[in-house]
Structure 1
């Protein structure tokens, strides 16, 4: 279907010579709504080139960013959104451009203004790029800070909460790696960093456990006991504690 749509595009562009700005926009929007993102981008670009001024050209620039986002072209979506923000910093829909930047870095598939679903919240955090997660968080934070009353702000806040958990767990995953390699000092330091930078996230429980086991392996009994006390106080029923007794004879990290 995509190849077919692309094949028809040259003919449509040829016919567009006498189109008005509204006709250009309507045709491009049709392609966009039908999922023909490459065709839509070409038409929006043609609209902007032929009618570079006015509301249709401005809207076309924003639609191009959205089309790139939907087509999973992250870099182009970010560039298009940044271009719109630079050209139209006071536009009534500039908050949408900031939102698109966050979505492009968030790299999810649940659609605009969607509630963060259980699928997203329970996804494998190791599959996420921590750099993109941090950038997405900053994009959404800028949106919420600049436009607190934006209709996109509530969704952005939900995604920010999720992203903090993502980055925190990524730090813990690095600590896990050091533990498996016997790098106990590095593991303890990474887990401690996660606790300080991202408190009260789901990763806190495992970070404390890693600190406890790393200090134990290093023979640092005072620090081990401190970590154990904090963990037992805050997570008395932790699965990490119950699975680390050694009753099964398996190494404590096997349940990961």
Structure 2
């Protein structure tokens, strides 16, 4: 009986396999779509703001046609589509992938520019937000990453059509980073952490000498030196401050009531 059952099972298996061989193979219809059609469809989705649909089409194009200009363009478009859809992590990953795989591509300068834009948009509004939250809770990582990407673009491709805009954005980022340092310095000063405040103010002065926030940073250095009893360093900083900002809003009459200001202000006359 056991042998008979085994024979029946074996026969069924053979029949099943034979039936499968008669069935037509399942094919991926998208593989037969011409590259120009996939490209046109993806561009149409992009133009309509349907970025998720566009990304799928770009990925399909790259999979079906992995070599040549269309594949390279698809990679760039994927990064841009993620950027437009607000997916920062995927956008950065896609841009980095292109830069890594195509370091000599004629349009790699654009990918550095896009990388800067991705991080730049993450920190837009930093200055306006500083006074709405604890500054130590705000990570300026995106600001630094954006600046670094733009700097690579400007240094390596000074003649790129994206370089002028990158330079302008770098100026803005420098202002933002300096203001962040000063805001943190103020945060520590208000809490009596004068050494920590001094260090952040000094960072702003040394790292961002051309930023508008340098004025307030020097002013904070004076206040911290005074609080810590470092009279000589305070007076040296006062002389630098007065030479650079003789009409500073931070030291105008009525702008500050601390006795130490009156003391060292008189000592310089």
Q: What band does the TM-score fall into relative to the shorter chain? A: 0.7 to 0.9
Match of 2:84 among 36, 58, 70: 70
| Deviation, structure 1 residue 15 | 7.7
8 Å Cα contact 1:215-1:224 kept in structure 2: yes
Which residue pairs with 1:124 in the alignment? 128
How many residues align? The count is: 224
Q: What CA deviation, in whole Å up to 9, does each residue of 1:117-137 have, x standing for no partner?
A: xxx699426387421111111
1:30 aligns with 2:44: yes
With over 3 angstroms needed to count, the CA separation of the structure-2 counterparts of 1:28 and 1:15, relative to structure 1, is: farther
Question: What is the correspondence of 1:104-119 to structure 2 with a 5 Å cutoff?
Answer: 104-107=118-121
With over 3 angstroms needed to count, the CA separation of the structure-2 counterparts of 1:34 and 1:42, relative to structure 1, is: same
1:91 aligns with 2:69: no
Which residue pairs with 2:246 in the alignment? 236
Pairwise CA RMSD of aligned residues? 2.3
Structure 1 unpaired stretches of 5+: 1-13, 110-119, 248-256
8 Å Cα contact 2:205-2:214 kept in structure 1: yes
With normalisation by structure 1, the TM-score equals: 0.80
1:204 aligns with 2:214: yes
Question: What is the correspondence of 1:9-24 to structure 2 with a 5 Å cutoff?
Answer: 16=30, 18-24=32-38
| Deviation, structure 1 residue 36 | 1.0
With over 3 angstroms needed to count, the CA separation of the structure-2 counterparts of 1:34 and 1:15, relative to structure 1, is: farther
With normalisation by structure 2, the TM-score equals: 0.76
Q: Which has the larger radius of gyration?
A: 2
8 Å Cα contact 1:168-1:198 kept in structure 2: yes
1:183 aligns with 2:183: no
1:80 aligns with 2:84: no
Which residue pairs with 1:223 in the alignment? 233
Structure 2 unpaired stretches of 5+: 1-27, 259-269
Match of 1:55 among 69, 88, 94: 69
